[in-house]
Amino acid sequence: MIKRHDKNVAQPMSKIERFLSHRRFIAFLLMVTALFFLLINVPAQSTRRDNGVESYLLRYRLASDEVWTYRTITTQKTDMEMLGQSLPVGITIVVEYSVRGEGNDPSQNVRATLTLDTLGMTFDIVPEDMTVDLAPWIGKKMGLILSPTGEETFVGIDTLPDIRFDQISDETFNIQSLLRNPFPDLPSHPIKIGDTWQGGGRYSQTQRHIDTEVTTHSTNTLEDIDILNGLECLIMKTKMTGTLDGSGKQMGMDVVFEGDLESTTTWYFAHETGTLVKLISDQFMEGTIAVAGQVDMVVPMTQQTRIVSQLLR
């Protein structure tokens, strides 16, 4: 269910303007947001310094009946220039979830149950704000298998219903997109302060007639060690550059988009307990959307995204 909050500034809009402002374009923005979760990733290939400094072997550890509770807040602002006008669109997504350990399997993978405790999604759009009612998903549970180095497998998540946008459009949004890569990948070998990782990858997603692909290159550094929330944490920073490409059909029109990406992610890992404590990621994209059909046009756009994920208890 969508709750609308009229800003009393509505003006007549053409079909193409509705698409690019607050109709089907919302689905595109959500797919881009979901792809950003994939970019929080630390590859395992590194350059190590043999300088006698203490090394750390990072592994996720969660005892049976131990609980991690996280809150992740994603804020995104997109600005488009069309027909001489600026069309800003804001999205805020809040996800709070608990992970309860159920012991390890023979391969030392953590087996756990993940519960969705809080879900919220709000769109800040002219002429009206909209809030998605996600109450039906609160309290839903799924299995989680987490490898020691951070590879996640969700069990039963495909049985959960997709999020629907009702009055906005007939598009749906997979709940799994809100839980992409909640635990960054850890290097497979010991690392020291000052070590760097060079990596990258290619990530793709298809949802409702839109195919998207992200190609990235990242430089990752183990920078320091500090105390956060009473835990001794290693501080790691990832700087990423990349490209985003996609195409598909929306409302009978051909849509092609491309953009350049850059981001900086800082995350804090409690190496003694094997716990992710906090993650902050700031990301920027600049690109264009080309639309062909009833109207042919190219729309420049910029997008800023911030993801903050924090251990609550």
43-58: pLDDT as tens digits: 444 444 555 568 999 9
pTM over 0.85: no
3 state SS for 96-139:
EEEEEEEEECCCCCEEEEEEEEEEEEEEEECCEEEEECCHHHCC
The C-alpha atoms of residue 27 and residue 96 are separated, in whole angstroms, by 22
Identify the bridge partners of residue 268 per DSSP, sorted by sequence position: 235, 278
pLDDT beneath 50, residues of the chain: 8-13, 15-16, 19-22, 42-48
3-state SS assignment for residue 26: helix
* CATH code at position 184: 2.30.230
Residue pair 244/32 in contact by the 8 Å Cβ criterion: yes
Number of domains forming the structure of the chain: 1
User: Could you tell me if residue 221 is left (phi over 0), alpha (psi between -120 and 50 degrees) or otherwise beta?
Assistant: beta
* Angle CA 12–17–21, to nearest 5: 105
Instruction: Note the pLDDT of residue 134.
Output: 84
Q: Where are the extended beta strands (E) located within 126-209? A: 128-132, 141-146, 152-155, 163-164, 172-173, 191-192, 196-207
Instruction: Note the pLDDT of residue 185.
Output: 85
Residue pair 267/184 in contact by the 8 Å Cβ criterion: yes
The C-alpha atoms of residue 283 and residue 21 are separated, in whole angstroms, by 21
Domain with 50 in it: 2-311
